[in-house]
Amino acid sequence: MTDTTMIASHPALALFAGALLVVLLPGRPRAAAALAAPAAALYLAFALPEGPLWTTHWLGMEIVPFAVDALSRLFAIVFALMALGGVLFALNQPHRLELPAALVYAGSAIGVTLAGDLVTLFVFWESMAIASTLVLWSARSPAAYRASMRYLMVHLLGGMLLFAGVTGHVLDTGTTAFTVMSIDTLSGKLILAAFLVNAAAWPVSAWLPDAYPEASWSGMVFLSAFTTKTAVYVLLRGYPGTELLIYVGLAMVFYGIIYALLENDMRRILAYSIVNQVGFMVTGVGIGTEMALNGAAAHAFTHILYKALLLMSAGSVLYATGRRKCTDLGGLCHSMPLTAACGIVGALAISAFPLTSGFVSKSMISQAAGDEHLFVVWMLLAAATAGVFLHAGIKFPWFVFFQKDSGLRPPEPPWNMRAAMLFFSALCIGLGIFYEPLYRLLPYAVEYQPYTAWHVVAQLQLLLFSGLAFFVMLGWLKRTLTITLDFDWLYRVFLPGAASLATIVLMLMNSALSRIARSQLELLSEAGRGLLGPRGIFARTWPSGTMALGIMAMLCAFLASYYFA
Amino acid sequence: MLWRIFIAVLALSVLAQLFVESHPHFAPERLFAWNALYGFLACAALIVIAKGLGFFIKRDDRYYDDR
């Protein structure tokens, strides 16, 4: 079936082996193994040949656990790159569970992207859910544990939808191959629903800002990258051009902006902004032209890097101060200039400023909407681009590093965290200037030139005047000690409340019914006591003469019936 | 001081449009400084919507703690 060199060449296996070594080794060898594993995976992701690399049969189904094409290579590369930067950032994480869990998580994400069939995809999908829960656990706070349980419930539900959908799909079509799906069949709808749960599509998006910000200062860096972007990958492969996704994506985009504007916790701001950014990609998948799909794929690539950079910056602040709320922070640029500068690079990239990676990727999606003459979609994407600068591009750095001086003077984080931030900052700017290598990795040939004078000027006007709106309306954006209710309210407050209300009603009904039943039973037992009780009719002592008389009467009746019959 | 620099940059971004050949996708882009206007208004609208929605769904941040 396969030769041994091919078995060794799956990038996920490199990461799984690394995870095992990281569990076993102490000190420096542990750090070396943790860095070597994603580096090896990155090399493999570049070097792999295209086509199905492993095929086998299982339970009469054809299984292709390892297949490569341009789209899966692109995602495997960025996942390996992300794991490398994330591990570097997390090297000084004292909790020993996090690194191996993160490596398994990254490996499973790569496993999903390189899965040629739905069965393999399902297996890695589930192992991603479990590994990410373990990453959450490494924060070791009661709040993180409770959030991880809610997170796991949502993802196991998604896994069940996927299992049902895959089973139905295999029964319907007789093939396990993962190609373009139809949403006209029930199984196609179930698989799409499962994918959208992981993409944090509105309204089930609440699991993401609920769980991720509870992770450790390094854990959220990993969490931000893999689950939602594997969902984008499977949508790109399974449901390109599905019109529904345009509306889902736009809902996510604006949900993310509005909730982020209302939020006070810096990491929850960035969590909402993940939903917002994935919304751009989902919209691109929905538009479905080559330009749009290229744009969605490129945006996933650049987004993983700048979002990780933003969360590294926020993670460094959390590491140094132990605080997450904007109301407690501010003025940190004085003692953490490098962290602030890297945070600003990430903020500019997410806002798609010219010369950053976001500019060369996001504008492809808008361009695709323009090319298809989708006027409303195009207008909404432009408004959303402005809104991204508002909620992530200015709000995050402004409230954390500038605004009022909180008086905090924390030192810069250790060398490995600084190195990771510089590494990703370089990538965010590098990809913004030298975008050709990224464009060459995209699934379709690119004939797009992001840097036209008109495009640069238009984008600068849009973004700078968004900045003006931020500062003019700063009073309206004043941070308050509040959270914003979301869909998770339904399963955190409403359903438990409804369940306890139902319990009370049932208990009342139970006691009322049992009272009625008891009084009826008492009447019955009174009657029974009359017949069968110690003084009842049947319990009396009867004279034997009465008995003889009775039997004689019976015999007479028998005789009479014998004669007449 | 910072405000003055910022306003100068804003003005520059609008004036730069005079020296650039435009490639509009849709009619509104033909308007002068359309992107500046649209960016500002879109953000103002988003802030107002967020503020209005927050009126209904904002809670004290210890809301879930005692549950």
Whether residue A465 lies inside any domain: the answer is yes
Question: Does residue A203 have a cis bond before it (omega within 30 degrees)?
Answer: yes
Nearest to A385 by CA among B13, B54, B46: B46
Whether residue A24 lies inside any domain: the answer is no
Phi, psi values for residue A484, rounded to 5°: -120, 130
Cα–Cα distances (Å) from A27 to A37, A103, A415, A416, in that order, read 16, 17, 16, 15
Q: How far, rounded to the nearest angstrom, does the alpha carbon of residue A306 sit from its chain's CA centroid?
A: 18
Contact A108, A131 (CB under 8 A): yes
Give the CB-side neighbour count of residue A391, counting CA atoms within 13 A.
35
CA distance A115 to A453: 42
Please state the domain count of chain A: 1
Whether residue A224 lies inside any domain: the answer is no
Tokens of A116: 């040629």
List pLDDT tens digits, range A508-530: 999 999 999 999 999 998 888 88
Contact A209, A486 (CB under 8 A): yes
pLDDT on residue B66: 64
Contact A397, A331 (CB under 8 A): no
Query: What is the residue type of A152?
Result: L
Tokens of B13: 């971004």
List pLDDT tens digits, range A117-142: 999 999 999 999 999 999 999 888 89
All residues of chain B having their beta carbon less than 8 Å from the beta carbon of residue A374 are none
pLDDT of A113 higher than 80:
yes
> Residue A117's CB: how many other CB atoms inside 10 A?
24
All residues of chain B having their beta carbon less than 8 Å from the beta carbon of residue A460 are 13, 16
Nearest beta carbon to residue B39 from set A257, A375, A465:
A465
Instruction: Name the residue in chain B with its Cα closest to that of A474.
Output: B47
Contact B36 A480 (CB under 8 A): no
Whether residue A19 lies inside any domain: the answer is no
Give the mutation candidate from A353, A457, A478, A481 for the B interface (greatest B CB count, under 10 A). A457
**DSSP assignments along A277-313, one per residue:** HHHHHHHHHHH-SHHHHHHHHHHHHHHHHHHHHHHHH
Q: Residues A443-467: what's their mean pLDDT?
A: 88
Whether residue A101 lies inside any domain: the answer is no
All residues of chain A having their beta carbon less than 8 Å from the beta carbon of residue B36 are 461-462, 464-465
Whether residue A47 lies inside any domain: the answer is no
Nearest to A199 by CA among A102, A289, A303: A303
Percent of chain A with pLDDT over 90: 66
Rg (CA), chain A: 32
pLDDT on residue B67: 60
All residues of chain B having their beta carbon less than 8 Å from the beta carbon of residue A485 are 57-59, 63
List pLDDT tens digits, range A51-106: 888 888 888 888 888 899 999 999 999 999 999 999 999 999 888 899 999 999 99
A356 membership: H or E segment, kind and range: none
- The SS3 assignment for B59 reads strand
A492 vs A18, residue with greater confidence:
A18
Contact B46 A257 (CB under 8 A): yes
b/e map B23-50, b = 16+ CB within 10 Å? eebeeebeeeebbbbbbbebbbebbeeb
pLDDT of A407 higher than 70:
yes
List pLDDT tens digits, range B5-53: 888 888 888 888 778 777 777 777 777 888 888 888 999 999 999 888 8
| pLDDT bracket for residue A7 (50, 70, 90) | low
Contact A281, A303 (CB under 8 A): yes
Whether residue A560 lies inside any domain: the answer is no
* Interface ipTM: 0.90
Give the mutation candidate from A481, A484, A494 for the B interface (greatest B CB count, under 10 A). A484
pLDDT of A6 higher than 70:
no
A125 membership: H or E segment, kind and range: helix A118-137
Give the mutation candidate from B47, B48, B49, B59 for the A interface (greatest A CB count, under 10 A). B47
| pLDDT bracket for residue A1 (50, 70, 90) | very low
Give the mutation candidate from B9, B46, B59, B66 for the A interface (greatest A CB count, under 10 A). B46
Tokens of B9: 């940059």
List pLDDT tens digits, range A139-165: 888 999 999 999 999 999 999 999 999
Residues of B with CB under 8 A from a CB of A: 6, 9-10, 13-14, 16-17, 20-23, 25-26, 29, 33, 35-40, 42-51, 53-54, 57-61, 63-64, 67
Whether residue A269 lies inside any domain: the answer is yes
List pLDDT tens digits, range A349-381: 999 999 999 999 999 999 999 888 898 999 999
Look up the pTM and report it: 0.88
List pLDDT tens digits, range A250-301: 999 999 999 999 999 999 999 999 999 999 999 999 999 999 999 999 999 9
Range of the domain at A422: 240-486
List pLDDT tens digits, range A193-246: 999 999 999 889 999 999 999 999 999 999 999 999 999 999 999 999 999 999
Contact B50 A262 (CB under 8 A): yes
Percent of chain A with pLDDT over 70: 99
Contact B58 A480 (CB under 8 A): yes
- For the CA atoms of A44, A45, A50, A55, the dihedral, rounded to the nearest 10 degrees, stands at 70
All residues of chain A having their beta carbon less than 8 Å from the beta carbon of residue B57 are 484-486
Instruction: Name the residue in chain A with its Cα closest to that of B11.
Output: A461
How far does the CA of residue B14 sit from the closest CA of chain A (Å)? 6
CA distance A555 to A141: 90
Lowest mean pLDDT among A195-209, A427-441, A546-560, B12-26: B12-26
List pLDDT tens digits, range A491-513: 888 888 999 999 999 999 999 99
